[in-house]
Chains A and B, each alone.
Chain A
Amino acid sequence: MSYCSSGAFAQTSVRGTVTSSDGEPVIGANVIELGSTNGTVTDFDGNYILKVGANAVLEFTYTGYVSQKITVGAQTIINVTLTEGVALSEIVVTALGISREKKSLTYAAQTIQGGQLTQVRDANFANTLNGKVAGLVVTNAASGVGGATRVNLRGNRSIQSSNNALFVIDGVPVDNSTPGQVGNDFGGYNGSDGVANINPDDIESISVLKGAAASVLYGSRAANGVILITTKKGSAGSISVDANSGAQFDAPLTLPYLQNEYGQGNGGVFGARASGSWGPKMNNQAVTDWTGKSQNMVPQPNNISDFFQIGSSFNNSVGIKGGTDKVQSYFSFTNNQAAGIIPGNKLGRNTVNLRISTNLSKKFSTDAKVTYVNQILNNKLRSGEESSEVMNLYKTPRSIRNADMQNFESEAGAPSYWTSSSIYMNPYWTINRTSADEERTRTTGLVSATYHINEEMKVLARVSLDQYTDRGENTFYNNTLLFAQAGGSFQKYFRQVQERNAEFLLIGSKKINSNLKLSYTFGLADLARKSDFTQTNANGLLVPNKFDLGFARTLSVGTGFVERDLQSVFGSVQVSLKDYLYLDVTARNDWSSTLPAPHSYFYPSLGLTAVLSDMVELPSFVSFAKLRGSYTRVGNDAAPYLLTQTYSFSQGGIGGFINRDGTQAIGDLKPELTTSVEFGFDGRFFDNRVGLDVTFYTTNSVNQLLSLPLAPASGFSNQYINAGDIQNAGVELTLTGSPVKKEDFSWDITLNYARNVNTIVSLHPDIKQTFLSSGYGRTAGVLVKEGGAYGDLYADGWAQTPDGKFIMDASGKPVLTATQEFLGNFNPKFTLGLNNAFSFGKMSVNVLVDARIGGVMTSGSDANLAFDGNAAYTTAYREGGWVLPGVVKNGESYTPNTTPVNAETFWTTVSNGRYSWGQLFTYDATNVRIREAAVGYNFNVNNSFIKKATLSVVARNLIFLAKGNAITDIPGVPSRKMWFDPDVNLGAGNYQGIEYGTLPSARSIGLNLNLSF
């Protein structure tokens, strides 16, 4: 099996066996005679034989092991034991999959090891990143298991495009578009994202490249930062098997604080068909209730919590690794089964991953990977007020029995409900008689080949294809409010998304002299994206509740088709001086099909790193110190089809309609530009026991492509415009410490801190404000306003005099503000994550506490709970006599208010039910929680078959240590504590900061067993 083995002066023959430290033979280890091209590899028993010249020195190398050099001398038998490798300097996988020494990086990067993600799990693994990286904020859409997430680094910069970080797997960006996110508080179904399809069991490690600096090489989509995922690869040596089995159980973490004194009714009087709990005190009195039966009125403290079930998720995976020095393969299969905390909400996912890497010669290697994912989501949840499962549930009066609610349907198939409503229904009807199911099939393939032209230069070609199809079906039984047309409604959709990347890279390095080194990457890339969408709606069903398009009364079809291409040329050069001073220069030119001719834009970056500890003599307690700085520009193209005015066809009337689209085309579209400057310091002290990594950055996004409102009288309601300057400035800090580091006990602390300050520096010469997504609706609107900050919430409120007194009308009721008031910003002021990891011999304990300080969130659910008299805080002043302290306007003067109201009048006035005075239901979203806690135990396995066994008990979202209060104190009512989890939002788009019928987050406890064979 040897090659190039005919050494002209071969004299002696050496043989031996290469074993690993556990005594196993190492298959495929390289044995090379230094200074020659002579070499061989070990066979299946770890044996080798090689003819060597005089004074030969042999080098034994094997991936993942420390290599050894042995002088042959007179020996003819050399047995070698290789020990598993210890990384001498930390290696970070950077852009395009190129590994670099961390010390040479000119920008902030943080690494998460795969193991950290497989212990504590979520159906969407992005949710488990929270608290682990400084400046990374993950929120999720209230769609139930596997729902979309919003992963944000360093604040929000784009008003209308995604602010999500780019995910890159093994050097290839993955489509993480989040189609159809709920963008207003009316609500709807959220589309799934792409990240949820990533299987954490296949992850080797994650590098988070926070700024744009890291990512010029990925092009525009990387302007929001990059999360680089390296997946497992096969390795040469004996076949090893990793099996992981986990079970996790979930229960709601937070539910509303409810009152249990007053029952269904109004004005203190029982009403069998009343919608709220403004009835009498529940004193066991007999009433004929909505079921038509006479039942005693008794509090039902659990009628809401009983609706939820214990959610569960089971995860089983097996990964097999093995290979020779020439061919290594990795195969894994993972099955996930998850059931949400709302009955019916389920996820099933199978992932198959196969990776084959070859080193066919010293010069030529290849890597090929195929990942297939099949994911089925059943009964995705709605979010928002519009008859979402949770909103319907929270509308339940306090005296209604859960057992009665479960009779949600009459014999004739009509919904049973205790009141009449325009949109709300019995929640049991909603979960049993409406559904949204989606199946995704995703195939990702990657082929790359590397050829070493010589020792210093290689070329790499890589082609990847990522393709998925979603097939969805939504059903609404006849008589479902809002959604069902006569006979019921049925929708079927089909989405196909395809992304193809092709790259050709020239990578090399050159040692100019002993001090000066040069490394470079030049590349060509082509990114082609295509998506195709068709939705067919059955407008009513001729045979009721037969859910197939064939039963439709009439059909209507919506289509979408998008195709675009991006071609790029780029280069990156790094000059290093004495391995302590590094200069990075990168540049890229893109040609995008979505821009007007010449379609082209250029963007450069510059970075400088100085490893102070290698440059100058520092005090001995400094083990390592480095300063870095970078300046980056990132260009961005636009969505396709904006250059020419378009006309749309739609159904309606007799033969359909054609109308000119309401958005004015922009023929002279310019690319967006984001400029960032960052400086950082990375230091390790006291023998690496303490580490500090701190980064300061400023990012300005200008020339944003905005769809701003235009005076509709112009014939257009919106115009595309290149305008705006949005600034994010902030600091990220990671502090690590190892207070105890002993053989049998170690303690590691990691503290992540991040603060980001956003400023809308300018918007447009004429238009000074615009709403994110839809405008002010039922709760609060997110207003982008010059001088304000991204994420500022505005809502109706309670009018006050200039000196801060509440204003009442003549009947003693609060008066509405004339305009929408500023409430706060939905982004946290700062975030903190504190991780403590302990290891006692075979046991490890890990506790992650995470804090989000500041920021506000407006709750539409809370407004409804107030309106209905269900909230705990509505019990005061039920009998009246509530004279609100403040004034009444009489003409131009104010007189003190003396007119009493009761709780029902007060709360129904300020909440109005669906369209509330959002200010009064807005909470300081500050919260501190034990995000994760895990205890693991490594068993002593005295078994030649099982090599390693680890059992861990993990908990997520264990408990809140602190929570914020309502931003407005109501006189006479104690401060109201936030009852919902601000991690959960209506959707995963830019419209954040609103809670409305969103699914409670879950507290999870799980058990995980990992076996290695």
Chain B
Amino acid sequence: MFIKNNRVAVFSILTAIVVSVSSCTQDFEELNTDKTKLTVLTSTELPYLFSKAQSASSYAFWRYQVAQNLFSDLYSQYFATSATYFPSDRYTIRFDWLQWHWIPIYTEAVPQLKTLLKETDANSAENALAKIMWVYSFHRLTDYYGPVPYFKAGDPASSVPYDGQKEIYYDMFTKLDEAVKVLNANKAKTPYGSFDLIYKGDVNKWIKFANTLRLRLALRISKVEPAKAKTEAEAAVSSGVMLTTADDAYMVKSENGGDFNGLAGISVWNEFRMSASMESVLKGYEDPRMPVYFQPAVGTGQFDGLRNGLLPAQLNNSINGNDANSNVGTRWTKWSGSSWGGQNTTPQNILHAAEAYFLRAEGALNGWNMQGSAQDMYEKGIETSMRQWGINDAAAIAAYQKSAATPIPPMDGINSPAMAAISVKWGASTAIQREQIGTQKWLALYPDGIEAWAEFRRTRFPKLYPVVNSDNADLPSGTFIRRIPFLVLEKNTNAAAVKAAEALLGGPDKPNTPLWWDKN
């Protein structure tokens, strides 16, 4: 009986095997379909793509550090590195970090935007928003390197050609113009609804956003192509730029999926602090924004900053330590008494009305029709920035606008002098006025180091400190970095295109070669 049962068992096993093998490969296709992912997109998914492109283009959490905070945030001297192990503040260029300035744009913003541009009607508000986000992403990219792959970006190929910065800028103007035209015809629509992480699909605000961006780009090329700059700037202003803080662009951030406000997320790591440049200016001006931008050092209770470009041995000195210098303000991070708590869902600053006024002030000095005088725009810019950061005391704002105070020595570890001698009160000469606009716009743009570094290179304002030590032979002490060389990642994966791009750059592929619009 026992034997018999076992025989039955054996035969059933054999049968099972024969059946399983003979069923063969019919179910392989289904088996090889990933249930945790999507393989087909429908219109339902498009809003999710737009959200992804928005988040990717402004660098969430740790990417914010390697894309922006370790480079342009230092080059614009909003912050200085307090960690001993980050040499980028001494102009060592860490390409392995910088690739995170590049990869998110091309592999996370571009593919989604291209899908949206292809799958939506060219005359739809959704299509227009995708164009605006395309320009927003790419202007921040090209202003690091100069030529970048643009017209063929997102076309699957083993090599993607670079395009000259001029052609890129011209196309960005065209895209913004087209987008605004389409949006003006779709004012009642709410493209992407709540999946638009900036304006929840408010078309009127997007029109102002696009025009403000266009004005920013116009000023950027004002030295290299003054006529084109004037045309674009006047078109932008007449179409309507941002006017009040209600127009400001912030991006919603989330605690989930690491979609943190980048600056907040990285503020807990004790790796950067207020720069001596910020300290010199904010303290000198008795600027009411100082306690918003920064908070007193936890070890001293004072606002303090340190210079850019210190050596590890200098950083080991406690005056340059994290406890003795100011972290970013409580908007981004709060001190528990023993550690920092990142305010990770603080909306991220994207684009603001205050900047529009400073751009118009400079345009007015250029003799363009900016629908207001330079001084008026300058002072409106200061006021709007104050209001943006929660300072609504009109008397205090007026006093600040009229202040003759100048930056002061920061009392740092190496007895630095005051950073500059410029005051707030509207000056007598165009030269002073340009420096004032540049300095105030620098303060207003905080914490957007990407834009502040671009404008510093174009205007050379504010008059920043030289870095204390440079490890980079191409950038001896006293000089400033002009661009990021083409990435090692690109040299390894897109070598021929990078080689060809050097001709488009108009100079050697070095960090001291100026970009197309940088005429200093």
Residues of A within 8 A of B (CB): 266-267, 271, 273-276, 278, 358, 360-361, 364, 366, 410, 412, 414-415, 420-423, 447, 449, 451, 459, 461, 463, 479, 481-482, 485-486, 502-504, 524, 526, 539-540, 553-554, 556, 559-561, 563-565, 567, 591, 593-594, 597-599, 640-641, 643-662, 664, 709-717, 766-769, 775-777, 809, 813, 816, 867, 889, 904-905, 908-909, 912-915
Do B55 and A657 have beta carbons less than 8 Å apart? yes
A597 and B271 alpha carbons, distance in the complex (Å):
53
Measured between beta carbons, the chain A residues less than 8 angstroms from B149 are 711, 713
Query: Is B316 a contact of A276 with CB atoms below 8 Å?
Result: yes
Q: Which residue of A lies closest to B40 (CB)?
A: A647
With A and B bound together, what is the CA distance between A569 and B367 in angstroms?
83
Which A-B residue pairs are the 4 nearest by beta carbons? A652-B259, A414-B338, A651-B257, A713-B149
**Can you list 14 A-B contacts (CB < 8 A)?**
A275-B316, A423-B269, A502-B17, A504-B17, A524-B17, A526-B21, A564-B32, A647-B45, A653-B197, A658-B112, A662-B103, A908-B84, A912-B85, A915-B87
Q: Are B153 and A767 touching (Cβ within 8 A)?
A: no
CB-CB under 8 A from B256, the residues of chain A are 539, 554, 556, 651-652
B337 near A710: Cβ-Cβ < 8 Å: no
The majority secondary structure among interface residues of chain A is loop
The answer to whether the Cβ of B80 comes within 8 Å of any Cβ in the partner chain is no
Q: Are A915 and B24 in contact (CB under 8 A)?
A: no
Query: How many angstroms from the CA of A850 to the CA of B3 in the assembled complex?
Result: 52
User: What band does the interface of chain B fall in when counting residues whose beta carbon is under 8 Å from A?
Assistant: 35 or more
Smallest Cβ distance from B197 to chain A, in angstroms? Answer: 5
Contact bitstring B237-273, A, C-beta under 8 A = 1, else 0: 0000000000000001011111100000000111100
A640 to B47 Cα, complex, angstroms: 29
**Contact A647-B39, Cβ < 8 Å, known A504-B17, A659-B108:** yes
Bound together, the chains give a CA A488 to CA B423 distance in angstroms of 47
Chain B residues with Cβ under 8 A from A502's Cβ? Answer: 13, 16-17, 20
Instruction: Report yes or no: B489 in contact with A709, Cβ–Cβ below 8 A.
Output: yes
Q: Which of A556, A641, A715 has the most CB of B within 10 A?
A: A715
Q: A905 to B155, Cβ gap below 8 A? A: no
Q: Distance (Å) between the CB of B274 and the closest chain A CB?
A: 16
- With a cutoff of 8 Å between Cβ atoms, the chain A residues found around residue B156 in the complex are 664, 714-716
Measured CB to CB, the closest approach of chain A to B477, in angstroms, equals 10
Taking a contact as CB atoms under 8 Å apart, the answer to whether B45 and A658 are in contact is yes
B317 interface residue (CB < 8 Å to A): yes
Known: A479-B339, A711-B159, A766-B158. A905 touches B322 (CB 8 A): no
| Distance of A559 Cα from B34 Cα, bound (Å) | 11
Find the B residue at minimum CB distance from A462.
B13
Q: Which residues of B contact A645 (CB under 8 A)?
A: 39
- Say yes or no: A565 contacts B31, CB within 8 Å: yes
Complex CA distance for A434 and B431, rounded to whole angstroms: 58
A657 to B341, CA, bound (A): 25
Contact A908 B316 (CB under 8 A): yes
Task: State whether A647 touches B38 (Cβ < 8 A).
Answer: yes
Our pick among B99, B153, B321, B471 for the contact of A713 (Cβ within 8 Å) is B153
Interface string of B70-102 (1 = CB under 8 A from A): 000000000000011111000010001001001
Closest to B256 in A: A651
Contact A908 B55, beta carbon cutoff 8 Å? no
Min CB distance A684 to B, Å, is 42
Flag if A715 contacts B18 (CB, 8 Å): no
Which of the residues B108, B254, B311 comes within 8 Å of A662, measured between beta carbons? B108
**A654: B residues at CB distance < 8 A:** 51, 194-195, 197, 252, 254
- Distance A459 CA – B21 CA, assembled complex (angstroms): 17
Please indicate the chain B residues that have their CB under 8 angstroms from the CB of A364 in the complex.
3, 6-7, 10
Q: What is the CA–CA distance of A603 and B25 in the complex, to the nearest angstrom?
A: 19
Does B178 reach chain A (CB closer than 8 Å)? no
Q: Is the CB of B17 within 8 A of A461?
A: yes
A412 (CB) vs chain B CBs: closest residue: B337
Select one of B48, B107, B195 contacting A712, CB under 8 A.
B107
Select which of B3, B48, B52, B318 is within 8 A of A271 by beta carbon: B318
Confirm or deny: B233 has a beta carbon within 8 angstroms of a beta carbon on chain A. no
Q: In whole Å, how far is A1000's beta carbon from the nearest beta carbon of chain B?
A: 24
Query: Is there an interface contact between B51 and A912, defined as CB atoms closer than 8 Å?
Result: no
CB of A711 within 8 A of CB of B28, answer no
- Residues from chain B with a CB closer than 8 A to the CB of A481 are 268, 339
One of B179-187, B206-214, B492-500, B503-511 contacting the partner = B492-500
Q: Report chain A residues within 8 Å CB of B37.
A: 641, 646-649, 661
CB distance B338 to A479 under 8 Å? yes
What residues make up the interface of B, taking CB atoms closer than 8 Å to A?
2-3, 6-7, 9-10, 13-14, 16-18, 20-21, 24-25, 27-29, 31-39, 41, 45, 47-49, 51-52, 54-56, 60, 83-87, 92, 96, 99, 102-103, 106-108, 110-112, 114-115, 148-149, 152-160, 194-195, 197, 252, 254-259, 268-271, 311-313, 316-318, 321-323, 336-339, 341, 344, 471, 473, 489-490, 492-494, 497
Q: Which of B20, B55, B107: most chain A CB closer than 10 A? A: B107
Known contacts A591-B24, A654-B195; decide if A905 and B311 are in contact (CB<8 Å): yes
A560 to B35 CA separation, bound complex (whole angstroms): 9
Please, which residues of chain A bring their CB within 8 A of the CB of B83?
Answer: 422, 913-914
The answer for the CA separation of A802 and B52 in the assembled complex, in Å, is 49
Q: Which residues of B contact A486 (CB under 8 A)?
A: 341
Cα A178 to Cα B27 in complex, Å, equals 28
Residue contact A561 to B255, C-beta cutoff 8 Å: no
Residue of A nearest to B20 (CB): A526
Q: Contact check, A414 vs B339: say whether CB atoms are below 8 A apart.
A: yes
The answer to whether A641 touches B252, judged by C-beta atoms less than 8 angstroms apart, is no
B270 lies within 8 A of A912 (CB): no
The CB with the most chain A CB atoms within 10 A, among B18, B194, B259, is that of: B259
Q: A658-B48, A913-B84 are in contact. Are A711 and B111 (CB under 8 A)?
A: no
Per a CB cutoff under 8 Å, which of A273, A524, A652, A775 touches B55? A652
> If A539-B256, A653-B197, A653-B252 touch, does A710 touch B158 (CB 8 Å cutoff)?
yes
* Given A360-B2, A366-B6, A905-B313, 6 additional A-B pairs, CB 8 A: A275-B316, A461-B14, A502-B20, A652-B51, A652-B55, A660-B111
Report whether A657 and B52 are in contact in the complex, using a CB–CB cutoff of 8 Å: yes
- Docked pose: A559 CA to B55 CA in angstroms: 22
Q: A449: which of B6, B31, B55, B337 is its contact (CB, 8 Å)?
A: B6
Assess A646 versus B316: contact at CB under 8 Å? Given A449-B10, A461-B14: no
* Complex alpha-carbon distance, A503 and B20, angstroms: 11
Report whether B92 and A709 are in contact in the complex, using a CB–CB cutoff of 8 Å: no
Q: Which of the residues B38, B154, B313 comes within 8 Å of A714, measured between beta carbons?
A: B154
Q: Which residues of B contact A524 (CB under 8 A)?
A: 17-18, 21
* Given A912-B84, A912-B312: A714 and B254 interface contact (C-beta under 8 Å): no
A266, A412, A593: the one contacting B28 at CB < 8 Å is A593
Write the nearest CB–CB distance from B57 to chain A, whole angstroms.
12
> Which residues of chain A have C-beta atoms less than 8 A from B155's C-beta?
714-715
Residues on B with beta carbons closer than 8 Å to the beta carbon of A867? 84, 312
Contact, CB under 8 Å: A715 / B114 = yes
Cross-chain contact A659 with B339 (CB below 8 angstroms): no
For residue A528, which residue of chain B has the nearest CB?
Answer: B20
Q: Could you tell me the distance between the alpha carbons of A561 and B86 in the complex, rounded to whole angstroms?
A: 39
Pairwise interchain contact B38-A713, C-beta atoms closer than 8 A: no
Q: Which residue of A lies closest to B37 (CB)?
A: A646
Residue numbers in A under 8 Å from B112 (CB-CB):
658-660
**Smallest distance from the beta carbon of B65 to chain A beta carbons, Å?**
11
Contacts of A266 in B (CB 8 A): 313, 316-318
Q: Whole-angstrom distance from the CB of A646 to the nearest CB of chain B?
A: 4
Give the residues in chain A near B339, CB-CB below 8 Å.
414-415, 479, 481
In the bound complex, how far is the Cα of B509 from the Cα of A319, in angstroms?
A: 72
| Residue pair B106, A712 in contact (C-beta under 8 Å) | yes
Would A422 and B271 be within 8 Å (CB), given that A274-B318, A640-B34 are in contact? yes
Contact of A653 among B55, B86, B157 (CB under 8 A): B55
- In the complex, what's the smallest C-beta–C-beta distance from B38 to chain A, in angstroms? 4
The residue on B at minimum CB distance from A717 is B107
In Å, the complex CA distance between A929 and B489 comes to: 42
Report the bound CA distance from A915 to B84 in whole Å. 9
